[in-house]
Amino acid sequence: MTTRQSKAEAEAEPAATLIWARPEPPARRAPQPQPQPLSRALIVGAALELADADGLEGVSIRRVAAVLEVGPMRLYGYVDTKDELLDLMADAVYAEITPPAPTADHPTQDWQAGLRLIAGLTRRAALRHEWFPELLGGRPHLGPHALAALEARLSVLNSAPGLAGRPAALRRAAAAFHAYLVGALRTELAQRQADRTEGRSEEQWRDAVSPYLRQVLEAGRHPLLAEVIGKAEHPTPGEEFEAGLEIVLNGIAAQVS
C-alpha cells in the first residue's frame, strides 16, 4: 500500500481480480460485418455443452471459441483463464440446486425435509452434469448462485432446534452435509464411469469377481466382510444415496437435540 492509497483501496484490489467483481467488457463498435455476439452467458452455455459431452478435459478456451465461431482471443476479457471459466460453469449448475423460496402455498419445511430437497436437487444436477462433483470439495465457490445455495442450506439448518444462534455448530453441520453429498456423488459417478469404461454393469462385475471373493472369504480371515457381502441387498444408486443421507441427518439431529 502506498502512502496515498487508503486501506479500503488496498483491500479492494485482490477482490477486483475475481471474475465476480469484474464487469463484462462493453459492447464495442466494429466494422461491418458485425462479429458474432458474445457474452459470459453464451461462453458458459458453450462450455456446459462441451463438459456434458466430454467432461472437464473437453473444455478449453479454444474449444469454447470454436463452438461460438469466434477467435479464442475474443474470449479474453470475458474470462481470463480456464479456472475462471470453471467457476462460471459451477455457478450455472448451482442455479439448478438452489431451492425455491418459501411461499404461502409452499411454506417452509422442517429442516430435515429441507435438506432432503437440497440433496435431491444436488444429485439430479450432478447426474445431468457428471463433471460437477469434480469441482466440489476444495475452495468454496463464490459466484452468486453458489452463495445463494449456501445461504439456503444454512437457512434450512438454522431452523433445526439447537442450531439457531450457534454459528460454529451451524457451520460444522453444513460442512458434514456437504461432505456427504460430495463423497456420495463422486462414488456414484465413478461407478457409472466404470460401467461405461468396462462395458459392463455393476451386477455383471459382481458376477465376474464373485468366484475370487468366495475363495478369499471362505478362508475365514475376514468374517465381518463375509457377513456383509453375504447379506448385501444391492440397492439402486438412488436408494443408497437416500439411505446414507438419513444417517447424516440422524447424526445432525442427535448432535442438536
Q: Return averaged pLDDT per consecutive 10 residues of the chain, 257 residues in all.
A: 49 65 74 72 98 96 95 91 96 92 62 95 98 92 95 93 91 96 96 89 85 87 88 89 97 88
Global pTM value: 0.84
**19-80, CATH topology level:** Arc Repressor Mutant, subunit A (1.10.10)
pLDDT at 22: 86
CA distance 51 to 132: 9
Round to the nearest angstrom and report the end-to-end CA distance of the chain.
49
Identify the pLDDT of residue 32. Answer: 54
Distance set, CA 54 to CA 20, 85, 166, 184 (Å)? 26, 16, 43, 22
In the chain, domain spans: 19-80, 108-256
- The C-alpha cell at 47 is 462450455
Check residue 24 and give its pLDDT. 85
CATH number for domain 108-256, candidates 1.25.40.10, 3.10.20.30, 1.10.357.10, 3.30.390.10: 1.10.357.10
Look at residue 2 in the predicted model and tell me its pLDDT: 46
The maximal CA–CA distance of the chain, rounded, in angstroms, is 79
